[in-house]
Amino acid sequence: MDFPKKSKIKVLKSPDEQSLDTLLPHNCLFYILPPMIDVSLKDFEDLAIERLKLLRILEQAGVKHPKILSDEWKEHVINELNIAGLKYFVRLLRGNGNTEQDMNARRRDYLSHFILRFAYCRSEDLRRWFIAREMELFRFKFSSLSSKEVKEYVELYEMGYRPISEDQKQEVRQELQSSVLHNIDGIDFYKVSFLAVLDLVRQRKCFLKNGFAYVSSMDFSIGVTLEDSLRFWREEFTKTIEPDKFDKSYAYGIRYNYGKEGSRTNWSPHSCMKVINTQGTSQDACGCPFKLWDASELRTRLVNYGINPVNVQDVISLATKGHFQIACSRYFELTHNTKLDEGISHPNGYFENSQILMENREPKSKTPQMSQQNQRRQHAMTQQQNFKRKLEARVKAEHDYDEELWKLSEQEEQRMAELKSKEKAQIEMELSQLESMDWDDDDDNVKELSDLM
């Protein structure tokens, strides 16, 4: 990737920027508050272009090296940044520093982020692309921190995470060593709720005990609690609306998503067919991935999950032909090194099969799929849904017919109104002519009046 080199932007340290430095305590920034300083129009444009170059480099690195944060991916990003003349971004990817060069790089990083953030807020697709690239940049920065720097970072932003003591570490040393590929000596481990690190749980990169995940500082990822979520969205929403408006209109929905509001009903989980028939997009956090993801996205994910390229193509071929459940079953066989007697027809069946294979547990029944009672319930729900769809279609047809009659009625009323308007205009014109006549008793006036009558 070749970019024409421009003259370096000189970001001067004005009195306003001195106060800005207090918002930039670390190379790995959170971008919580926007900058409140003056920037020339030329610098504004140049910073935006440089940030866009950075994000496009990250995007193209993901295409050439799908495994994000791999050595090949990192090397590609660093090389392209140097070629593009974005060496101050390279400085931010080398860990944390506090030199004048580091502070200058942070200021440019901070300003360019908010400039491009403003430009990419116009549509959902632009926002989604921008957030994905910024997350890759953040992960690159964070992965470059040493264990000591991670500890300082967690304390700096008051995340509430503390590394376990050496005694606690020794108690579960064998399990911790089995959960990571590297030697655990000299590495801090954090005890966090497993819900905060679901990606690491899925990838078997942490040790689980009593609902807590023990995560090494090399694999540490940041979760969002309900309190953090409320605080973040309140800060974002109240930039344009009143706090009372947020509490009344949005806070409830956030708490509901965390299961803290509403009926707290334990809804029955959807079957595979229900999930497949549910409308969604490739960016949704729900739905069937084998249906929603295109071949490119599916290939990237499967490669990241460690699937052999030949088998990856096998799964993609099934998915692109519409055999979503068969593709899912094939993926299960590849990731669990087994052969299924029956295909996957329910997410719960997938989970139970996986647990049996991983923990060598006996199934509760002869089949790892749903029980007969659940199958009958699912069949009844399917019939009810079919009836509901037919009823909705009939109601819609009747509604469309009523709409057509209403339009015809409106057209007729409009036509009658136009006729009345024309008649009224004609009468007014005739009255005007009558009023302007000379009412002498001559034959001409009498004849004209007779004609009008």
Q: What is the DSSP string of 222-261?
A: ----HHHHHHHHHHHHTTTS-HHHHHHHTHHHHHHHTTSS
CB 89 within 8 A of CB 109: yes
* Averaged pLDDT for residues 355-363: 60
Answer whether 314's CB lies under 8 Å from 307's CB.
no
pLDDT of residue 20: 60
Structure tokens at 421: 């308007």
In this predicted structure, what is the pLDDT of residue 172? 80
How much is the average pLDDT of 252-268?
A: 55
Report the range out of 14-28, 94-108, 150-164, 166-180 with the highest average pLDDT. Answer: 94-108
**Taking each helix axis from N to C terminus, what angle separates 347-359 and 324-336, rounded to the nearest 10 degrees?**
10
pLDDT, tens digit, for every residue of 291-308?
888 888 888 888 888 888
Q: Which of 224, 97, 218 shows the shortest CA–CA distance to 146? A: 218
Q: What is the pLDDT of residue 265?
A: 43
CA–CA gap between residue 17 and residue 377 (Å, rounded): 64
Q: Which residues, other chains included, contact 336 with Cβ-Cβ below 8 Å and sequence gap of 6+?
A: 353, 354, 357, 358
Give the least confident one: 159-173, 259-273, 349-363. Answer: 259-273
Write down the pLDDT at residue 76.
92
pLDDT at 7: 40
Query: What pLDDT is recorded for position 81?
Result: 93
Average pLDDT in the 397-419 region? 61
Per-residue confidence (pLDDT) for residue 368, from 0 to 100: 40
User: Each residue of 172-222: pLDDT tens digit?
Assistant: 887 777 776 556 676 777 777 777 666 666 666 677 777 777 676 555 433
Secondary structure (3-state) at 96: coil
